[in-house]
Structure 1
Amino acid sequence: MPLLSRRRELFEVTAVCDLSRTLADAVGDRLGVARRFLSLADMLAEGGFDAVLLLSSGSHGEPVRQALAAGYAVLCEKPLALTEAEVAALPEGRLMVGYMKQYDPAVRRAEEILAGLGGAAAIRSVEVTVLHPSGESQLAFANLAQARDVDAAPLRAAEAAIVDRALGEGAAPALRSVYAVALGSICHDLSLLRRFTGSPAAVDHVETWGGSPGSIEVSGPLPVSGRYSVRWHYLEDYPAYRETVAVHHDRGTLELVFPAPYLMNAPTVLTVVSGAESRTEYRDVTEAFESQLLAFHAFVADGVEPLTGRAGALADIVTAQRIAARFAVQHDLDLGGEARDRR
């Protein structure tokens, strides 16, 4: 909302929608929007706008389908969906999926440097570490309005039914947890791998420990050269979110350190390590979320293709299902649904 407000030369918010009247009113009041809806179908039918931002959590398959079918351009938060079937059901249309880290200026600079070194063929390994505190602790400073006027049980049941189609109705809680983390958080790292190297060629190791969600380790080969490893740790009381992505190549290292994504003007730091112990730091306070919004405007107004559309989002869903399938095989767990074919 702060970014939409400060880019009023590009965006005019004309309607808001939420299942919660409390949240619809809170957002409407803050943005000065009179038209407030509790039903997406009602908002789409009334219209009066060019594009839709879908910023809810979980699967966005059905709301994206409705918005595209109504003829609107769509920017939706990741993940696009939880199943390949949901993506297949989407009509043609203008769709951008929000992986804001792809638009981070430090990431774009790392891409440029890597291209000059020979691109994906020069990579020896990509090593990711994520230290993830609770969402409540990360957002405590924002004093957000709480949706206490919506019964969440039917929403959870509907989402569980979608996961059933991904993993099978008998999927164990541990398997569901791995899949949820893969598509809810690790997908950001999958999106970076897509930019640096292409989607992982395979998943050959998945392990968890320390409870649920606890810690998750995923590794395998990259599509051109080298290997990747992701270690994701849920740490309830860790002081602050921290994510490190190290790209080791033939002549050095590109290291990205991401701060908590909800803090304004907290730059990602790119450290370039090259020959003779040379180290260079690059940082830019341009907001990744703001750059993403500008890219959406360019997509809708000028036809500039986004960094992630339908195909990239589907690639991440497939990789997440491979992660779940590998975990199921290693731990002799029942596996059904779409992921059964990913083993």
Structure 2
Amino acid sequence: MRIALVGCGAVTQAVYVPLLSRRRDLFEVSAVCDLSRTLADAVGDRLGAARRYTALEEMLADGGFDAVVMLASGSHGEAVRQAMTAGYAVLCEKPLALTRAEVAALPEGRLMVGYMKQYDPAVRRAEKLLAELGGPEAIRSVEVVVLHPSGESQLAFANLTQARDVDPGLLASLRAAERELVSRALGEPAPEPVRNLYGVSLGSICHDLSLLRRFTGSPTEISYVDTWGPAPGSIEISGPLPVRGRFGIRWHYLEDYPAYRETVAVHHDHGSLELVFPAPYLMNAPTTLTVVSGGEGGESRTHWRDVTEAFEVQLAAFHAFVNDGEPPFTDAGGALEDIVTAQRIAARYAVQQGLPVGGEAA
């Protein structure tokens, strides 16, 4: 399948370039696009893509590919709209958009939103075990803890090509456009603490929201939100699950923490399922699933690992989606649920702190 890559930054270089290089049985990268010609050339050289662009519109007009993989930072709503309007299938990295309106503006078409943890073999095994235990009705609680070091420390090993050739005026205008989208989501008067919380919810915590969607369904209510420490700081979120039980998320930005760590524990009527995720940019580092159960008056713990790379499974799922019609785990509807949940998180925090909130989140 011939694909075009949009965005040649950190995730593309550290994750997608090595994966696409070894999955030439599935994909041929025909074109790459980035605001930085330096990055477009670097990624194009590594993947053998002869056509390099700095403007999405020009790349879409020239064509010569079957699908678009959207990997640029920030909101992807308008870029995805353009690609789908041009008739291309799209794999879009999370978040799909920053507002509900951007999702509503998308045309009919083939869209898959990338939450790679949903494709992790350990997550799939946990889903199967949970279904055997009775599904969402058996859950007492889902507890999440994320210890998040700086992006620079996580990617220090990757020897990334840096972009220093993008017009500063263009970057400033893009940042202003992103801020305007957040204002539409939260209201123009929304202060920085509310905006920062929304950004973390859609940029990182959304992975945990995507797992809640798989395990139990999206939360329909947020009961409590708190933040502390220097931004982005620490965040605590809790509320009821849609079927039974409650969830709690504690997310900590720790600049100098030695290694990323994320734990998702599902406590059910008969024991626990605990997932421990490694740093997302380390290819084929296994997630550990620990199954805790009782038996013969004691506790039993079983550990399960699989080195299959979740990002690679996700890419293969996109190939099956486009060519065989296999539905993705997250489409526009699932991505919209996460946007709505993030807006509920921001609104609950604003109300608790006596801060203004408006826009879609109101």
TM range (shorter): over 0.9
2:69 to 46, 53, 75: 53
CA-to-aligned-CA distance 1:6-51 (integer Å, 9 cap, x gap): 1101100000000111110110111111100001110000000000
1:223 to 227, 242, 249: 242
Offset of residue 313 of structure 1: 0.2
Residue 305 (structure 2) aligns with: 283
Residue 176 (structure 2) aligns with: 157
Q: Distance in 2 between matches of 1:139 and 1:154?
A: 27
Residue 348 (structure 2) aligns with: 326
Return structure 1 stretches of 4+ with deviation > 2 angstroms.
Answer: none
- Give identity over the alignment, percent: 78
Q: Distance in 1 between matches of 2:188 and 2:266?
A: 38
Please give the secondary structure, in 1, of the residue aligned with 2:302: strand
Q: Distance in 2 between matches of 1:265 and 1:171?
A: 40
2:190 to 163, 171, 176: 171
Letter of the 1:149 partner, please give it: D
2:263 to 244, 251, 274: 244
Residue 59 (structure 2) aligns with: 43
Letter of the 2:131 partner, please give it: A
Q: Are 1:19 and 2:21 matched, yes or no?
A: no
Q: Are 1:306 and 2:323 matched, yes or no?
A: no
Offset of residue 336 of structure 1: 1.1
Letter of the 1:57 partner, please give it: S
Residue 264 (structure 1) aligns with: 283
Offset of residue 201 of structure 1: 2.1
2:231 to 202, 212, 217: 212
Q: Are 1:4 and 2:20 matched, yes or no?
A: yes
Q: Distance in 2 between matches of 1:62 and 1:144?
A: 27
Residue 45 (structure 2) aligns with: 29
Q: Are 1:196 and 2:212 matched, yes or no?
A: no
Q: Distance in 1 between matches of 2:330 and 2:55?
A: 27
CA-to-aligned-CA distance 1:186-227 (integer Å, 9 cap, x gap): 000000000000001210100000111100000000000000
Letter of the 2:312 partner, please give it: E
2:130 to 85, 101, 114: 114
Residue 162 (structure 2) aligns with: 146
CA-to-aligned-CA distance 1:262-287 (integer Å, 9 cap, x gap): 00121000000001310001100000
Residue 337 (structure 1) aligns with: 359
Offset of residue 288 of structure 1: 0.2
Letter of the 1:160 partner, please give it: R
Please give the secondary structure, in 2, of the residue aligned with 1:307: coil
Q: Distance in 1 between matches of 2:274 and 2:62?
A: 48
Please give the secondary structure, in 2, of the residue aligned with 1:188: helix
TM-score (norm 1): 0.98
